Structure 1
Amino acid sequence: MKAIVLTKAGGPENLHLAEVEKPSIKENEVLVAVKAISLNPADVKPKYTDKMLDSMYGKNRPVILGWDIAGTVTEAGTAVTDFKVGDTVFGMVNFPGAGKAYAEFVAAPEAHLALMPSNVSFEEAAATTLAALTALQILEGKINKGDKVLIQAGSGGVGHFAIQIAKSFGAYVITTASAKNKDFVLSIGAAEAIDYHTQKFEEILSDIDFVLDTQGGQVLVNSTKVLKDGGTVITTFGMDMPEEAKAIAEKGNKTVSNILVHSSAKDMNTLKGMLESGAIKPNIYKTFAFEDMADAHREVEKGRTVGKVIVTL
């Protein structure tokens, strides 16, 4: 089968199309013929250093990157009960770990997938994986109807799902976005949009119940400042929490923590229901052919995507 492999640590130029052996499946796995792949910052950043590659994929080279897929089941393991050959499925495979998604076929645990809704394309399904799971796992059970929720970088992959999910939970959603993306974030459920180029959200907002942060650093510190006493901020950015954020949280009985998304069929099925009902809709920013994976990486690395970058097979 064809796969995009990373031969050594470095830039997108190190991603190469290669012929590799089709994976075999375990009893609890299905083999998926991949139709679409979604890219994330978590795809593009680790490739630059051996240390990050080793921690996520092991020391073997070449490696196959990626986690987010949508496609058709072509084989099912003997212990699989939820899927059969011919089913269309989507999910984030083996995160954290090696999903090996940049390939024509992917061996995926049954426990990481859901059936695709009939009202979405393979591209839309693939988009509604890591970023959407991150938003859901941060927000579900953490916010209540009527809460004032701040979503940082609302036009991004995680952000645009978080706005829609928080809105569906009944929250009053505020977000940060550039002026050119204001109309977009308002159209998907934000009640207010703060232009981070010309405005300082920490000087405008107060008494926020919950903040979803994707930026880290000073943005995380300032997010903690706008919380009401007893409020919560959860960040996706790294594991090193700024000491200033911790100090602010302690003074106001606030909670500041981070999260690492994990593969979950249960959560994928929640997203499936949201797609079916129209509560969420992914925004496909750009689509690339499988052979142009390096260009897709370069697009994500610009940090200006509105929604998701997708690769199709």
Structure 2
Amino acid sequence: MPKQVIVQSSIEAVDIIHTPIPDPQAREVIIQVKVSGTNPKDWKYPLWKNNSHNSGDDIAGIVYSVGKDVYEFKTGDRVAAFHEVGTKNGSFAEYAVAPDWTTFHLPHNVSFEEAATIPLASLTAAIALFVDMKLPALYMLKEPADSGEEKVPILIYGVTSAVGAFAAKYSRLSGFSPIIGIAGRAQEFAKTLADYVIDYRDGEDVLVAAVEEVLAKERLSSKVPNVFDAISENGTLETTLRFLDPNGGTISTALPTRLFARDKGNFKYPPGVKAYNSAVVQVHSIHKDFGYIWSRYLGRLLEDGRLKGHPFEVIPGGLQNLKNEKASGSKYIYRIEDTEDASFMDALSGQGAGGQSLKSQSRENSHPMKDFPFPSR
């Protein structure tokens, strides 16, 4: 019987369970998983709303079966998909379930490994930029672009994270310039994504001064009109306030300010700022049409080479490495068919032989995300 992996809240242990291949609902696609991606939420909020949850959401594989109302996919199709967060049958399994509107065909030039880096991160970036911030999408760009048009800058904090990188790629394709990227260790990768790269490790004052220097060099206003904070914790929310235009600026955050601001009760943006906490789970609720449209568009962008997946590593201990902030400019993925039960458990939890934890002895997940009531429906 096919297996699934259940990640415990401590992420130091996982359980292997065996369940039948799911039967698809009317608008669902059952996918034989070849490669699964991982995301920070898999350790920050692994159990979601119940005590036995397969938290994987990035799927790449082959269609096994489809629901009665699915007409775009058939058995044997190569696809990638964004599983509905918080529901059963995620991607840490041999067979996973996804709605048809967040499933897309894979072009022949895209491997399952590359595909597994794309669904959640790319849709998060798209929701942030084009739904919440209401920036002009790349398909609205004039062809060819008018080089005489006024420059419109955008700053992306965490530009080498998977979400931040996709935001930078979309911004480039949409004609935003200059793209200012804030990054840390993965400086070389950041330089492939942004026009200017600023290292946050030099300190907040140096960072803010560097942003102002870039704007002056480009003969732009001293404040940034568009900011996407793909990190949204450990002080980034407060830092962005220092260079965001208080009179007409727009900002999207990956995490909610009420949980991640330093002064949670009093943090607020100036009245002239439009601020959003962008929740990708809304492509499965209030933004289904956008999820459908953008998922199909992803296939086109990947096929003609305008968009690439995120750099990836196939590595044991992925969730522990994410928690310990070892990931830098890459995404951890798992090849399902290459893993036996024991190694799959070790790969997700970071345990060694005999189940000995290699990392923290804490048995509880204390990350604030675990208590956040995400708007899944």
TM-score class normalised by the smaller sequence: 0.7 to 0.9
Gap change, CA 1:43 and 1:185, over 3 Å in 2 = same
Letter in 2 for 1:10: S
TM (normalized to structure 1)? 0.86
298, 306, 319: which is aligned to 1:271? 298
Paired position in structure 1 for 2:361: none
187, 196, 219: which is aligned to 2:236? 219
Letter in 2 for 1:284: P
Structural mapping, 1:287-298, within 5 Å? 287-288=314-315, 292=316, 295-298=317-320
Given that 2:89 and 2:95 are in contact with CA atoms closer than 8 Å, whether structure 1 keeps it comes out as no
Paired position in structure 2 for 1:11: 11
167, 176, 186: which is aligned to 2:182? 176
Q: Secondary structure at the match of 1:158?
A: helix
Structural mapping, 1:207-286, within 5 Å? 207-217=223-233, 218-228=235-245, 229-238=247-256, 240=258, 242=264, 245-246=267-268, 248-250=269-271, 253-262=272-281, 263=283, 264-286=291-313
Residue 172 of structure 2 corresponds to residue 167 of structure 1: yes
Q: Distance in 2 between matches of 1:191 and 1:21?
A: 50
Q: Distance in 1 between matches of 2:265 and 2:296?
A: 37
Q: Distance in 1 between matches of 2:152 and 2:265?
A: 27
Structural mapping, 1:78-93, within 5 Å? 78-93=68-83
Letter in 1 for 2:231: Q
Given that 1:165 and 1:279 are in contact with CA atoms closer than 8 Å, whether structure 2 keeps it comes out as no
| Worse overlay, 279-288 or 152-161 | 279-288
**Identity between Structure 1 and Structure 2 (%):** 26
Paired position in structure 2 for 1:190: 194
Structure ID, larger Rg:
2
Gap change, CA 1:159 and 1:26, over 3 Å in 2 = same
Paired position in structure 1 for 2:20: 21
Q: Distance in 1 between matches of 2:109 and 2:267?
A: 42
Q: Distance in 2 between matches of 1:11 and 1:81?
A: 38
After superposition, give the CA deviation of every residue in 1:46-65 in whole Å (9 maximum; x if it has no partner): 13xxxxx3xx233xx43212
Paired position in structure 1 for 2:55: 65
Q: Distance in 2 between matches of 1:243 and 1:236?
A: 19
TM (normalized to structure 2)? 0.72
Given that 1:284 and 1:308 are in contact with CA atoms closer than 8 Å, whether structure 2 keeps it comes out as yes
334, 345, 349: which is aligned to 1:311? 334
Q: Distance in 2 between matches of 1:87 and 1:278?
A: 20
Q: Secondary structure at the match of 1:197?
A: helix
Gaps spanning 5+ residues in structure 1: where? 48-52
Letter in 2 for 1:171: F
Letter in 1 for 2:171: A
Q: Distance in 2 between matches of 1:18 and 1:183?
A: 41
- Number of aligned residue pairs: give it: 292
Cα deviation for residue 124 of structure 1 reads 0.9
Q: Distance in 2 between matches of 1:40 and 1:213?
A: 17
Paired position in structure 1 for 2:356: none
Paired position in structure 2 for 1:50: none
Q: Distance in 2 between matches of 1:118 and 1:265?
A: 21
User: Which has the larger share of strand?
Assistant: 1
Letter in 2 for 1:64: N
